[in-house]
Structure 1
Amino acid sequence: MNYLPGGLRVRDLPENIDELFTSESLWQSWLDVEAALALAQGELGMIPAHCAARIAAQCRLAGFDLPALKADIALTMAPVLSLTHALAGLCGPEAGGYVHWGATTQNVMMTGRLLQLRKAHALLLRRLAQVLEALGDLASRGAGQVTVGRTNRKHALPITFGFKAATWIDEMLRCVQRLREVEPRTFRLVFGGAIGAMQSFGAQGPALARNLAARLGLRDSLVHSRNTLDSMSEYVLALALFGMACSRIGKELYILMTEEIDEVEEALGPGVIGSSTMPQKNNPKHVVALLARAARLRAMAAPALEAGQPSHEGDAASNQLIAELVDQSAILAYDLARRLDWLLRNLRLKPENMLRNLKLSADVVASENLMLLLAQGMGRQAAHDLVHELIARHKQAGTPVLELLLRHPAVAGRYDAEQLRHALDPAHYTGLSTEIALAATDQARHDAAAIRDAFPQAPCPA
């Protein structure tokens, strides 16, 4: 097995994340739990050691009669029961009598699902390393490209496109941070028997839990209660926040792709068709798919909070709901990361259109800079009122702001034309946009490398 941070360890990961959540994959994860349980109990003397070894050796789904197993599951509607019956048959009368010793169905189901989720978690984080690199490249490319910053969907101040991308990096880094921070709370063993009070394991229950947790690379729990699902709900919420971050990026790019703005576009191939009836259209493809899936992932937050409220000491309805949410959200999150990675790497910037749009407010978009210059001689409020008045006259009559400034008695003779022109030039008022973009690029690349170091496995599937 390969070891991951915090004691996590996983088998080789599949080529496609969908393979993690098939029935066969789920059954194998249950068998992995049964094997570890038997070996732990054999080591502690709870069952004969040679029987434990026999059970563990048979915990490979490839050795099962799958059609017969599926038929029995359909009959019993108790998949773990059917699986352990089949396993006992493979182990023979003596060892088979110790299969699933003292455990309950929910112990095995929940633990097996954790093993699946942990593999999906590793795949997602390695894909997010690629997303961070793509965002870093985008911020680097646009670090010095002046564009207009917008607030309330109106021109506000000049920035660089790299600064815009840096805000996406900042948020994506927090998404990764959340996913790493929930690991110790999410990947913990809950294995306390039917209720959680270790009745079937007796005084050896805590030692068994510690041994089993170590074998599976999970953390031990203080209380092995089946009815505390908050950690799984928290994981789904972390994925929903990742969906929100993807949506923010996607929505911004989608708006910037409209003809009225046209500052970016997807680099689609020459054979891609935008519309079946409007030949002139070049509709975005990948960003709309990103937004649709991000909405679905975000929508899982509310039911995840519902699932975290099981009744009494166990509730199958809550268990089924959280299990479905975990499977669906993990697959959706990975698909989102894959699509975002493609979109960022195939995004074409249009600097000429960024400058064109900037010119729509070029005389006034750096008015804050002008105000700060004038405030040195007349105070901030007086400077604000003066600049506001002159811009209003500029918009009404079309007279250039510079000309109005040079005519105004409070300005004329105090500042020369070059000083005022420089203050009004958007290119001279992007603040630290370039520096912020480059710093974010460095951080994105650093954290991407750290993720790869923490999860050193094969490249992400395509």
Structure 2
Amino acid sequence: MIPRFTLPEMARLFSDEFRYETYVRVEILATEAQVRLGRVPAAVLDDMRAAAAPLPSRVVEIQKERDHEVISFLTAYTEQMPESSARWVHLGMTSYDLVDTALGLTLAQACDVLLSAGRRLRAVLVERAFEHWDTVMVGRTHGVHAEPTTFGHKLGGYAFAVQRSLERLVAAREAVAVGTVSGAVGTYSLIDPAVEEYVCEQLGLGVEPSPSQVVARDRHAQLIQAVAVLGACIEQIALELRLLQRTEVREVEEQRVEAYQGSSAMPHKANPTGSELLCGLARLLRGYANMALENVALWHERDLAHQAVEKVLLPDAMTVAHFQTVKAAEILENLRINPDHMRNSLAATHGLVCSSSVLVELLEAGVERDQAYRAVQSAARKTAEYGQNFGEALAEEGIETSARTPDDFLVNHGVVHTRLEQLRKLAE
């Protein structure tokens, strides 16, 4: 995990301490099931429950000799209990019965943390969308002024994108929240399937329907793809904020602390560093998505090529995604909106943003389409080149309209709105 991009609630889930605590929980549940089946003495459970999860430092110490993390964990755990009980721990299980079942629980909890952050981001977007529903600004396509829109309409679109990402994450959570306690190569040859059913039920996990000793890695790939798409949606928001913060635009501004310094050389600088960070983190998430796909294919019933990758991939992807989502909500919640600058941007083209309204007016008046288009385009070129009022340029082309100033065009122009009722539902 990258400390700078890791928040406490997600860091805890991927800590060695939490992992070993979860291992102990799985082992105790498996033994409870074995006791129910009459295969293990009931007294073993008392000793297992009395033993604490081993310290990571102790596991590392043993691993220097054993060169196997699960065996080292089991050694560190069972050395706290009498041999008469220690020998029953992990009965009939293989290493990844423990590792993957614990991992399924951890990933499910990590999804819950990320979903909570995503819902907050969605709420902030909806709240600010309603706040600026009538804050008129210029829409841009290809980076060029198009027609008027509103800042609220823009934010509403982003809120729906985040909602779609949340829906994908919910499905991905279901996919990864599974476990397996099926023994070597997943055939249940030395362990009763009832043990698996009991363990997974107690942990709130599904059961891998056809295990090959490990949980299928396409499940993890599905999760990281969903995480990467959420990251890309946040990147889209952040990229827009970066563009709107350019000096010549300044329609929005990230809020700064008093001590903020944007440049070591240029004191006047106020850079969109928060938004830029969000875009950079999205690139990391896309890289993790590719790594997750590489992990899907394993040799035969399993190999270990995926193990080292997952130890980096899963903690990093989930912590980075969580940090990015939380940071995006903070930036948007505190974002300063400049309606006057938005108005200035609209006025900058002297009415050109309403050329389509004039075109439709001519078509409705019976003018042939190509003739109407070329006439409006000719007037638009004069306005763009000489800064002439668009209404006056239209008059020179012999086009009579109901408006003569940019403000008139804006009053007569119907601003596009998203479906308010659907947006309100997102706020519920």
TM-score for the superposition, normalised by structure 1: 0.85
**Correspondent of 2:195 among 208, 233, 236:** 208
What's the counterpart of residue 432 of structure 1?
416
CA contact (8 A) 2:180 2:215 kept: no
- 1:90, distance to aligned residue in structure 2 (A): 2.7
Q: Hey, what's the Cα distance between the residues in 2 that align with 1:397 and 1:82? A: 78
- Give 3-state SS (helix, strand or coil) of 2:264's partner: coil
Asked if residue 236 in structure 1 is aligned to residue 224 in structure 2, the reply is: yes
SS of 1:149 mapped into structure 2: strand
Distance 2:406 2:59 in 1: 78
- Which of these residues, 57, 62, 70, is aligned with residue 49 of structure 2? 57
- Describe the superposition over 1:299-335 as per-residue Cα deviations: whole angstroms up to 9, x where unpaired: 2111111111111110111233234211110111111
1:58, CA displacement in angstroms?
Answer: 3.5
* Distance (Å, rounded) in 2 between the aligned partners of 1:294 and 1:283: 19
CA deviation after TM superposition for structure 1 residue 191, in Å = 2.4
Counterpart residue type for residue 383 of structure 1: A
Conserved? CA contact 2:29–2:199, under 8 Å: yes
Instruction: Find 2:9's aligned residue among 1, 12, 16.
Output: 16
Give the residue type in structure 1 aligned to 2:394.
Answer: L
- Match of residue 291, structure 1, among 241, 256, 279: 279
- How far the C-alpha of 1:171 sits from its partner, in A, is 0.9
Work out the CA distance in 2 between the residues paired with 1:36 and 1:379: 79
Write the deviation string for residues 81-123 of structure 1: whole angstroms up to 9, x where unpaired.
Answer: 1222233333323222210011111221112122222222111
Q: Which residue of 2 aligns with 1:390?
A: 379
Structure 2 match to 1:330 = 318
Question: What corresponds to 2:205 in structure 1?
Answer: 218
SS state of the match for residue 260, structure 1? coil
Letter in 2 for 1:171: A
- In 1, distance between residues paired with 2:406 and 2:242? 33
Is 2:236 the counterpart of 1:254?
no
Cα 1:317–1:196 change in 2 (3 A) is same
Q: Alpha-carbon deviations, 1:276-308, whole Å to 9, x = none?
A: 211111223322222222221222111111111
Residue pairs, 1:438-453, within 5 angstroms: 438-439=420-421, 441-446=423-428
Q: 1:278 aligns with which of 256, 266, 290?
A: 266
The CA distance in 1 between the partners of 2:96 and 2:141, in whole Å, is 51
SS in 2 for 1:281: coil
Superimposed CA distance per residue, residues 398-456 of structure 1 (whole angstroms, 9 cap, x where no aligned partner): 443323434555x45xx5x44x76996135435332x54x446423322xxxxxxxxxx
Question: Hey, what's the Cα distance between the residues in 1 that align with 2:335 and 2:254?
Answer: 5
- 2:355 maps to 1:367: yes
Residue 445 of structure 1 aligns with an amino acid whose one-letter code is A
Residue identity in the other structure for 1:212: V
1:34 to 1:145, Cα distance in 2 relative to 1, 3 A: same
Find the partner of 1:268 among 246, 253, 256. Answer: 256
Cα–Cα, structure 1 residues 66 and 182, in superposed 2: closer, same or farther, change >3 Å?
closer
Cα RMSD over matched residues?
A: 2.3
Residue of structure 1 in register with 2:151 after alignment? 161
Give how far 1:169 is off: 0.6
C-alpha change, 1:427 and 1:230, in structure 2 (3 Å) is farther
Q: Give the secondary-structure state (helix, strand or coil) at the position aligned to 1:425.
A: helix
- Structure 2 distance, partners of 1:221, 1:114, is 10
Would you say 1:405 and 2:394 are equivalent positions?
yes
- TM-fit CA distance, 1:150: 0.7
Alpha-carbon shift at residue 375 of structure 1 (Å): 0.7
Q: Does residue 138 of the first structure (1) align with residue 120 of the second (2)? A: no
SS of the residue 2:145 aligns to: strand
Cα deviation 1:203-251 (Å, max 9, x = unaligned):
x32x222222101110112102226210011111111111111111111
Supply the AA of the counterpart residue of 2:375.
L
Indicate yes or no: 2:167 matched with 1:174.
no
Assess, with a 3 A threshold, how the Cα gap between structure 1 residues 387 and 66 changes in structure 2: closer, same or farther. closer
TM-score, structure 2 normalization: 0.91
2:114 to 111, 124, 132: 124
- Check 1:317–1:334 CA distance in 2 against 1; reply closer, same or farther (3 A cut): same
- AA paired with 1:369? S
Q: Which residue identity does 1:230 align to in structure 2?
A: D
Aligned pair in 2 of structure 1 residues 351, 66: CA closer, same or farther (>3 Å)?
Answer: closer
1:349 aligns with 2:337: yes
Counterpart pick for 2:303 among 298, 315, 322: 315
Q: Secondary structure at the match of 2:169?
A: helix
Contact 1:132/1:169 (8 A) holds in 2: yes
Contact kept, 8 Å, 2:66 with 2:72, in 1: the verdict is yes
* Aligned residue type for 1:348: R
**Whole-Å separation in 1 of the counterparts to 2:177 and 2:56:** 29
Name the amino acid aligned to 1:425: F
1:10 aligned residue: none
Distance 2:340 2:250 in 1: 10
Aligned residue pairs: how many?
A: 420
Provide the C-alpha distance between the structure 2 equivalents of 1:142 and 1:352, rounded to a whole number of angstroms. 13
Aligned partners of 1:403 and 1:254: how far apart in 2?
35
Note the residue ranges of structure 1 that are not aligned, 5 or more in a row.
Answer: 1-13, 447-462
* Kept after mapping to 2: 8 A contact 1:135/1:169: yes
- 1:171-224 residue CA offsets vs partner (Å, 9 max, x unmatched): 1001101000122211111222121111222xx32x222222101110112102
Instruction: Look up the equivalent residue of 2:211 and give its one-letter code.
Output: H
> Match of 1:139, as an amino acid?
A
Instruction: Report the AA paired with residue 391 of structure 2.
Output: L
